[in-house]
Amino acid sequence: MAEFKRPTNEQEFENNFSPIKVLMNKSEAILESSKCLFCYDAPCTKACPTHIDIPLFIRQINSGNMTGSAMTIYASNYMGNLCGKVCPVEVLCEGSCVYVNQGVKAVEIGRLQNYATHKVLSEKIHIFSEGEKVNKKVAIIGGGPAGLSCASELRKAGIEVDIYEGRKMAAGLALHGIAPYKIANEDVLEELNYLQEQFHFNIIYNSFIKTKADVAKLEKEYDAVFLGIGNSSTSALNIPGEDKKEVYGAVEIIEELRMKKSNLVYGNKVIVFGGGNTAMDAASESARMGAETVLLAYRRSKENMGAYEFEYDLAKSAGVKAYFNVAPVEILGDEKVTGVKFIKTEIKDGKLKTIAGSEFTEKCDMVIKATGQSRHFELFDNISKLEVDDLGRIIVDENFRTMNPKYFAGGDAVNGGKEVVNSVAEGKFAASSIIKQLTKI
């Protein structure tokens, strides 16, 4: 039985996808900030990939210096509001809070971060300034978290920046991929606008850089290029029936869901393949779209799932059921999917094996493949000397410079697909290297 009613209008959609992290009020923020022990050499700061001075921004909240607190956050992380909402804090800053070792609940760092950033964003209090012009130009391919972070840092150093974004909107997966109950579209765009109002980087929308001619033009017009292109579409499973109607890749259906909301026509019995965080999101979101049953199907055991425990718990709390040790063999139906044929699996001699004769079918009217994302190989092939590893990740040195010295790269395209906060950190770090290379500082 469905936990959520199918949303028929925008308000019902917002209700089903209401934020799991609610903005604190002043009393809550003062109380929560007073719990911080202001540790010397704070483990939370070390655990944060952008190394925000967490004890300092919490102390500033506690003393009522809200703008100062936001400045501390943004000095390390240009997407401080986004990260406060979407970071898997349980395994990052909050997971390393000294309270956790003593069996006490960690300080709510993510929510405090949002309390501080919300004030400067909603009141449009400007805290950044562009650097003095240095007569250098950088092209950024991709306007996701990595590209935006890189652009902001370059503009702070007075370097001109043009972001080439393939879609009609920027912010990458922050806008098109992350679950709406973590952050709303308006909040993502508010922070993007906040940065753009102060740093004045150009975003050239609907501009997908792909061909040799596109690349040659950028190389001629700019002093350096940053690749913040993330990953590509969902990888194929290569099983029969994959091309049937109502069979979707997870990133593609989530993007549609974020844009169309209650107007998206959705299945009633949904099967999601995969055991990673994207699979958990796709399953949770399907339940919130009012699907009567949502079944996660993973080919290994529960213990082998790549997803964080709290993401699986969230999916279960939305009514999602799971099958472990099952692999899809065929997607059934004529034109449209009507079911999936599975086979049971086991580990034998350390290897995943299927069990002969254990096939069974499960009916459904929608399938979502959360089976990983492919890479932008077409673009890679058109950039001379660019090298990728055997997983298709762009190879960079410790300065985020690629094998072609004109190109730098960061974010999912380099790390293979981590979290927003990693992309923000890498985009900023790559910008520092570009600044050093172009200004010889």
Ligand X SMILES: Cc1cc2nc3c(=O)[nH]c(=O)nc-3n(C[C@H](O)[C@H](O)[C@H](O)COP(=O)(O)OP(=O)(O)OC[C@H]3O[C@@H](n4cnc5c(N)ncnc54)[C@H](O)[C@@H]3O)c2cc1C
How far apart, in whole angstroms, are the C-alpha atoms of residue 72 and residue 79? Answer: 12
Does residue 421 bind ligand SF4 (CB under 6 A)?
Answer: yes
Nearer to ligand X, 257 or 343 (CB): 257
Residues in 356-395 that interact with ligand X by CB under 6 A = 376, 379
How far apart, in whole angstroms, are the C-alpha atoms of residue 374 and residue 230? Answer: 10
Give the one entry of ligand X, ligand SF4, none that residue 172 binds, where binding means its C-beta sits below a cut-off of 5 to 8 angstroms depending on kind: ligand X
Q: Tell which one of 24, 70, 71, 92 touches ligand SF4 (CB under 6 A).
A: 92
Let me know: does 234 contact 374? Beta carbons within 8 Å: yes
Does residue 71 bind ligand SF4 (CB under 6 A)?
Answer: no
Let me know: does 147 contact 175? Beta carbons within 8 Å: no
Cα 288 from chain centroid (whole Å): 20
List Cβ neighbours of 102 (8 Å cut-off, separation of 6 or more).
Answer: none
The pairs formed by 217-221 with CB atoms below 8 angstroms and a separation of 24 or more are: 218/139, 218/141, 218/164, 219/406, 221/137, 221/139
Nearer to ligand SF4, 74 or 222 (CB): 74
Give the number of other CB atoms < 10 A from CB of residue 28. 15
Give the one entry of ligand X, ligand SF4, none that residue 196 binds, where binding means its C-beta sits below a cut-off of 5 to 8 angstroms depending on kind: none
CA distances from 406 to 216, 384, 409 (A): 12, 10, 10
> In whole angstroms, how close is the CB of 308 to ligand SF4 at the nearest point?
13
**What single-letter DSSP state applies at residue 29?**
H
What single string gives the DSSP state of each residue in 332-359? EESSBEEEEEEEEEEEETTEEEE-TT--
Closest CA to 420 of 249, 208, 179, 61: 179
Nearer to ligand X, 364 or 420 (CB): 420
Q: Tell which one of 58, 97, 109, 364 touches ligand SF4 (CB under 6 A).
A: 109
Binding mask 33-62 for ligand SF4 (x = CB under 6 A): ---------------x-x-x-x--------
Nearer to ligand X, 66 or 112 (CB): 112
Give the one entry of ligand X, ligand SF4, none that residue 310 binds, where binding means its C-beta sits below a cut-off of 5 to 8 angstroms depending on kind: none
What single string gives the DSSP state of each residue in 286-299? HHHTT-SEEEEE-S
Give the number of other CB atoms < 10 A from CB of residue 336. 11
Give the one entry of ligand X, ligand SF4, none that residue 177 binds, where binding means its C-beta sits below a cut-off of 5 to 8 angstroms depending on kind: ligand X
Binding mask 357-396 for ligand SF4 (x = CB under 6 A): ----------------------------------------
Q: Tell which one of 58, 61, 71, 93 touches ligand SF4 (CB under 6 A).
A: 93
Nearer to ligand SF4, 50 or 345 (CB): 50
Q: Tell which one of 278, 284, 286, 325 touches ligand X (CB under 6 A).
A: 278
Tell me which stretch binds ligand X (CB under 6 A): 36-44, 141-149, 287-295, 429-437.
141-149
Tell me which stretch binds ligand SF4 (CB under 6 A): 109-117, 123-131, 207-215, 279-287.
109-117
Tell me which stretch binds ligand SF4 (CB under 6 A): 80-88, 205-213, 268-276, 368-376.
80-88
Query: Count of residues binding ligand X (CB under 6 A)?
Result: 40
CA distances from 375 to 282, 391, 424 (A): 20, 9, 19
Does residue 420 bind ligand X (CB under 6 A)?
Answer: yes
Nearer to ligand X, 123 or 387 (CB): 387
- Cα–Cα–Cα angle for 68, 74, 78, rounded to 5 degrees: 160
Cα 297 from chain centroid (whole Å): 23
Could you list the residues that contact ligand X (CB under 6 A)? 86-87, 141-147, 164-167, 172-174, 177-178, 182, 208-210, 228-230, 250-251, 254, 278, 281, 376, 379, 411-412, 417-421, 423
